[in-house]
Amino acid sequence: MAKKFASQGDMTEKEISFTQVGDGLYAFTAEGDPNSGVIIGDDSVMIIEAQATPRLANKVIECVRSVTDKPISHVVLTHYHAVRVLGASAFGAQQIIMSEKARAMVAERGQEDWDSEFERFPRLFEGHESIPGLTWPTTTFNGRMSVYLGKRRVDIMQLGRAHTAGDAVIYVPDQNVMFTGDIVEYHSACYCGDGHFHDWPGTLERIRAFDLDAIAPGRGDALVGRDMVNAAIDSTADFVRSTYRPAARVALRGGTLKEAWDAVRAECDPKFGDYAIYEHCLPFNVARAYDEALDIDTPRIWTAARDKEMWEALSDA
């Protein structure tokens, strides 16, 4: 019998928090589930991350309506993963923004990601019948673009590869606040199955260089204050390095994926074993670290067949 991912047994509803991270800026968080962000402009609202389904997106909308009645005009998606994007239709926004690379990843692997995440996260995909299909952007950019919500400027930027090759961050300069997507996590494991371990720490340092007053991370609590911001950047970098290095050592000496798994567990379990979705992320993280050490630059597409192949390689894990 094939092994199952830890997230398949997680059916407990999470407690939602809606935290102000700046004037007119909010983080929607839910105990390690995917976060969303809210930016209120002069005349309209921008949403960061659309959730996995319209059902979950409506929970974000309820929180938005608790603080403003302005229309939602923009949805910005930091990357292509299904749990971040498939709820977009609920917002009724005229503009859906992704990086050009993230859009290419929707075309290349969006359906496969939807299929595999649907199997891995049954709770997040409750109400999936209302998803109209893959989420495609109306607007894409390379490098950087700015959106003006009245007088409020919002900068959407690619600072480097990390969680995926198409990652974007959203910066609100008048408050010195950033929405980082899954480049930064707080007491939640990084999912590295589509990641770029060599690039990720440098991307984190480019975020740190903004000397931010607050971050809304991809998962975990809102980070308010520079001490909390820097602690989260440090712990995310430690997670990425602690995952990659032991797996790479095994791969480069010709060891097996199972040996890499054991080496990563020995390094990471004591430090990160209590992080949200840690057990779920671990097999993907080890497999991707092993591949990257062998110079496979583009992450392989995750499919049901590949999941089975991975579990067979980790059959004693």
Q: The domain spanning residue 56 has which CATH number? A: 3.60.15.10
Could you give the 3-state DSSP secondary structure of residue 219? coil
Q: Tell me the two tokens of residue 174.
A: 């008048």
Q: Which residues contact 254 (CB under 8 A, 6 or more apart)?
A: none
**Mean of pLDDT over the chain:** 94
Higher-pLDDT residue of 4 and 233 is 233
Q: Taking 60 as the threshold, does the pLDDT of residue 1 lie above it? A: no
Q: How many Å is the maximal CA-CA distance in the chain?
A: 59
Whether 297 is in a domain gets the answer no
Q: What percent helix, strand, coil does the chain show, rounded to 5? A: 40, 20, 40
pLDDT in tens, 126-183: 888 999 999 999 999 999 999 999 999 999 999 999 999 999 999 999 999 999 999 9
Give the pLDDT of residue 111.
Answer: 95
Closest CA to 119 of 316, 314, 306: 306
- pTM score of the predicted model: 0.94
Query: How many CB atoms neighbour CB 148 within 10 A?
Result: 10
Q: Are 172 and 25 in contact (CB under 8 A)?
A: yes
**Are the C-beta atoms of 221 and 19 separated by less than 8 Å?**
yes
Two tokens at 224?
């308010």
The predicted model gives 222-227 an average pLDDT of 98
Q: Tell me the mean pLDDT in the region 58-77.
A: 98
Residue 8 has pLDDT above 70, yes or no: no
Confidence of residue 29 (pLDDT cuts 50, 70, 90): very high
Range of the domain at 211: 8-239
Asked if the structure places residue 112 within a domain, the reply is yes
Does residue 196 register a pLDDT over 60?
yes
> Is residue 233 situated within a structural domain?
yes
pLDDT at 2: 47
- Check pLDDT > 70 for residue 38: yes
The model's confidence at residue 114, banded by pLDDT at 50, 70 and 90, is confident
Residue 224 lies in a domain: yes
pLDDT for residue 21 is more than 90: yes
Query: Looking at the domain assignment, is residue 257 inside a domain?
Result: no
Which among 46, 50, 27 has a CA at the least distance from the CA of 37?
A: 27
Residue 265 lies in a domain: no
Residue 295 pLDDT exceeds 90: yes
299, part of any domain: no
Number of separate domains in the chain: 1
Residues whose CB falls within 8 Å of the CB of residue 315, separated by 6 or more in sequence, listed in order: 258
Rounded to whole angstroms, the Cα distance separating 141 from 98 reads 7
Q: Report d(CA 306, CA 120) in Å as an integer.
A: 13
Q: What is the pLDDT of residue 311?
A: 83
Query: What are the Cα distances from residue 261, in Å, to 4, 236, 243, 267?
Result: 16, 19, 9, 10
How confident is the model at residue 72, as a pLDDT?
98
Asked whether residue 215 is domain-assigned, the answer is yes
Rounded Cα distance between 204 and 69, Å, is: 35
